[in-house]
Amino acid sequence: MSSITGGVGTTFYMAPEQEHTKLSVRSKTSYDSKADMFSLGVLLFEMFWLKPSCTYMERAEMLTALRGESRGAMNKGMRTEEAPTSTPLFTEEGEIIGNWAHASEKRFPDSFQNVVPLNAQKLILWCLERSPKRRPSAKQLLLSDLIPRKVELEEKYLNEVLQTLSNPQSEQSYQQILSKLFDRPTPTAVMTTFDSEVSIKASMIDAQHLLAKSLNSVKGSHWTAHGISYSSPMSGAAVAAAISSLGRAQHVGNVSGGGKDGEALRGAPQQVATILAMTAASAAAVEGSVDGILGADPRVVETLCCSMSDIFQCHGAVRLQGPLLRPRDSDDLVSSLNKPVELLARRGLVLRLREDLCTNFARAVSRGGSATSNMKRFDISKAFTESPAGLHPKEILQASFDIIQDENRAKSEFLEAETILVLCRVMSLLAPKEEMVYQFPPLSLKSPVWFLRMTHFRLSDAIMDLLFIPTSEVIRQSCLNIFTTLTACPPTELCSQQRQSGKQKRKAREVKAQKMEFLDKCLESAVLDDNIPKRCEKRLKIFLSFFLIPHMDANSALDVIYEATKKLHSGDINSSNHNEEIKRLSKSCFVEAMRCIHKLRQLLKAMEKLGIVPAAKLHKKDQPHTRLIKNLSYPAYISIDLGLRQKRTNFSGGLYFQAILLQDDFFQKGERTPNRKYGGLGTRIAEGGRYDDLVRQFRPPGNFGSVQANDYTAAKIPYCSGVLFFLGKMIERIYLDAAHDEKWQHSFLESLRRSIGHPLIDSSIPVQCIVTSETGLDLATCAERAQISALLWSAGISCEYLAQSGVMMSLLRHLWSDGNSEWSSSVDRICGICAILNIPFVVIVQPHLLKSKAAVKLRQTTASSASGPLYNWSEELVPLSSLASLLYERLSSNSDDDAYLADLPNEATTAESTNVLLQSHSNVDIECIYVGTDQYFDNEHKVSNAQWKQIKKVMKSSEQKMTCHINDLVDHSTPVVAIDLPFKVVRDLGSSIIFDGIESLNKGEIATTYPQHKKLLRNLMYALDALARKDKFQRKPEEKMPVRLFLYSISCDKYDLITITY
């Protein structure tokens, strides 16, 4: 290398090949960058060897040994090949071939070997190879495994950053780091997949094949073309929702095939199935990952939410939404099965999204002081939990009803009973349209069949303390599981309430023996697996032996708990083996248990006074007659479950209950035996109880909740009780009931609606009218249909004129030959769809009829009375001035909802809105004369034969079209082109423009026929072209509308009407 300086360098850092160059510059010996690697090896040694040498002599001897040379060889200036050489340790590729450990002992100090890492020692020896060829290049050195990776080097700095973030004192550095974090761009992959967790799951299946199979499964005898295609571009979530919706309607073709009624519908049921499938697809595409039914119809959800809101407001509650976020507290004991979503604010605060509707509201109550000590509130909103895939948070739709009251102002048991009463009223919303009764003498259970699990947390804790159960979380959880298994009454006992004959008594004794054997196995497993002490095992066996016979009556179950705890306490008091401390502990636990049992008894009495009586108790002979409350679903029974615990810790320290809904197929048909075993047979629809402790947990320290700043005062913790509903589970049950197996036992239309498997069509759809044309919901008449819809909207009548997912999505999408797609269908098909969807009216708009007579046609798709015809699709001509009032009258006669009628505007408002619309239409009286080959026909010359009917139809159609044509000329600005030419020439010009286009004025036959008017014809062509461009600019690009104009002959005072199409 020409840039390398020869004969320069410090002796100890010089490579062996440099020594001869330093003594004899004329020598041809040369060196390269490998000499720098040798010097690097010496520098690395000194960097690792931080201990300074006492004298220069000691340093010289150390570096000489490091170089692998003797002192004399260096002083004599021996050549490299003459100097003492060591055995090579590395190949030219950097592989170790020599005994590097022996070389390390020979060339490194002893203390150096003990301190410096082995990879550093190998690296130094590699750089100090005497042969330049065996030393590493810079590239080899950087790629070598002997050098630590970049991550290992940055670990130190990473630890420093983490220490800065965790130190609350380093505010400035903390804010700088956070600023950089928020400035970090979001990766494209995250932007693409963030809200597509359901789509990712759906992509794991063959969605295209399943969608095609689902579409084929709904075909019937009148199936023509379904409204959606399995090749339609939709997200994975939308496809999955459409498949699910079509799967619920797989039997629709079986119901609609054959018969007069089926012939009248002409394939409408299959079309309704695809309409609802597209609605589900739209909901899933927008809402994404939600609980319950994927793609649940928003109208079903809204209907349920409105019904629940009415119940809550009936109890005097107002809608108050708790905060969306709360700061994460290190002492926050609120935990859940799913992790809460945590957010990082720009200021560095760690916040939590609400994981339920109770926690954040409890925090607001704790900070509200007296302002939040007396109120009833409800809320229907979404809660959020962390997504397992780390994408968009999982959304859970919930409803909450809460009572906050000072304990001194009300009896707590009645407030708790009121929350359970609200629960019973909400459960009645899940009742099917037709009452279903299950007979299990003496019990008679109505659908929905559900039961109430109830416990008192302090009762369970007091009993475990009485049993001397250690406070270990694992051991106590094991005991709670045993409590649930053996003390709670399972729903299978609903089948065993018949009178106790001798045979049943013998069977009961056998069951008792089997349960005792099962108890021994459970305790043995708990001792072995969960390390429950032997002493606790004996006391558990004594306590649980009282529960070998399950009790469906809650008061009887409390009596058994009382007897079991009393026996344990009496044994402790009378025992001589227990000291005074154990006896005091036993007494305090027994007193606490008695207090909790008393609380539960008071609650049961309060529930009875409010009319909440379990079905298992209603049929007892000794039970006084109880008046059944309308719109109230009674629990089948109340189970006292000592092992019941909430997965979250919101409801703690007091009452806690769960509503468990049983499926209607829980009992086998024709048998009185359960269809499933206890454990997977029910759905938790709601939970509730006391959460005073949660409010206390969020109460800040110090003088809080008081207006007195100088004195230490604080607002009292109020009584807090509430119930939380899981709407996703409720909606899922509603969909299951809509597709019940007994749907065939109804009228044809009702069976047809049930076969679609959608709950919305069991009741009236919010839309009361569809505004269509003769060809369906096409684009050509969109403007006229919008005008009619505006008229009905102003009258308070809900209607729709577009094909959208809310009402009429996928109405026979017809593909025209030119590739343009329009929404088209026959009026009969639309009427059939409306009849199934409970949309009572169809307004048919015909432009010529609207402009000539300011009228529309009206069809009623549903029967006006129970005795009326099923399909009354006869048309009637209705003037616009009376359309809204006519619909209002018919809707009023069929509606019992006074509140709805009050919301409709009066007739004066309807008439005023109609007059505004009528002003835009002119009435033109046109008489048509039909000229045939044999004679002409007018309104005076009529013939009474079959020919006259056909001619009359043609004449009427011609009158309507000409009326529409003339009205269009009046409504729109029609230009007049004045030309100073004879009218004969003007007529020829008009014919040429119509058939050959405006270009014919310059190059066509007309230009040859009238050469004397060449300049005038050219200017006329320019004028018409500018006029057409102006009209085209005022319209939408996709619209191809004709341009009408008058050609006026000034000299003859006559005109010709022509039409130009571009």
Q: pLDDT means per 10 residues in the chain (1062 residues)?
A: 53 78 54 86 84 72 80 43 61 82 85 84 88 88 79 67 73 77 73 59 61 70 46 70 80 62 68 81 75 80 91 94 85 59 81 90 87 91 83 87 81 91 93 77 81 92 90 88 87 67 61 80 83 86 85 89 91 82 89 93 92 76 59 89 81 87 65 41 88 85 57 72 93 81 58 75 73 83 90 89 59 36 61 83 89 88 52 77 87 57 46 49 66 74 66 77 70 78 87 81 79 84 80 54 80 83 64
The total number of residues shown for the chain amounts to: 1062
- Cβ neighbours, 10 Å, residue 396: 21
- Give the tens place of pLDDT for each residue, 836-885: 888 889 999 988 888 888 899 999 887 544 444 455 567 888 999 889 88
- Give the tens place of pLDDT for each residue, 195-220: 655 555 555 556 667 777 777 777 64
Beta strands 450-456; 443-446: pairing state: unpaired
Contacts with 697 (C-beta within 8 Å, 6 or more apart), sequence order: 331, 332, 333, 334, 366
Contacts with 511 (C-beta within 8 Å, 6 or more apart), sequence order: none
Give me the helices (H) in 467-501, please: 473-487
- Give the tens place of pLDDT for each residue, 1027-1041: 777 765 455 555 555
Distance CA 720, CA 692 (A): 5
**Global pTM value:** 0.70
Phi, psi of 807 (to 5 degrees): -130, -60
Distance CA 253, CA 755 (A): 9
State the amino acid at position 343 in one-letter form: L
pLDDT of residue 456: 93
pLDDT of residue 910: 47
- Cβ neighbours, 10 Å, residue 916: 12
Distance CA 261, CA 203 (A): 41
Q: How far is CA 674 from CA 212, 511, 665, in A?
A: 37, 16, 9
